[in-house]
Amino acid sequence: MKKRGESPRFDQVRRNSPQTSKQSFASRSRNRLLKRGQVRGQMQLSFGMIFSIILVVVFLGFAFYAIKTFLAFQDSAKAGKLFDELQSDIDRIWKSSQSSEQQEYVVPSGADFVCFIDFSSDAKGADSIFYTELERSDYGSENLAFYPVKFTGFESKEIKHIDIEETTAEENPLCIKTSNGRVSLVLKKDFGEALVMIEKIE
């Protein structure tokens, strides 16, 4: 609002005075600084969010790896326990003159079948379709393997004192289906026989 008595020319001069120009320049500079501060703050916020996301991804990756390693350790322990318990039962029956026992064992997760196989003979019988994949677990003397084959270091084993020829006389491999993480089978030795046979439960 113009003051009384001021001429238009004086008003124009006041607006164009050095003091007014300085105030205008300072205002523009302040606005630019504010905008720069806002941009810098947004960039810092963006970098913070990206860093947080990276930390979450790394943590999840480590958690999944730890769970996978733990489950693999559990499966290895189950396989090792099955081998030991089965061998112990077979050794006991092998030392006896005659026996027939039904036994149940815990199997590793993912094992659909426990197979007894004679790799020196050809495939035959209902489970012969598993023979080719089971051959991948043959390192020279194995006669027991899990199907499907998973290379965990415990995918197959040589069980001693088994009459593998008689066990696989009609089915090679002889695969016994697991149920609820367990497998049931019959260990049998007839009078006068030197080795133990494995049979399916009828």
Range of the domain at 72: 7-202
Residue 160 falls within a domain, yes or no? yes
Residue 1 falls within a domain, yes or no? no
Residue 175 falls within a domain, yes or no? yes
Domain count, the chain: 1
Residue 38 falls within a domain, yes or no? yes
Residue 2 falls within a domain, yes or no? no
- Strand locations in 153-193 (E): 156-157, 174-177, 182-189
pTM comes to 0.65
pLDDT surpasses 50 at 78? yes
Nearest partner of 130 among 97, 25, 144, 34, judged by Cα: 144
How confident is the model over 136-172, as pLDDT tens digits? Answer: 888 888 999 999 887 666 788 999 999 999 999 999 9
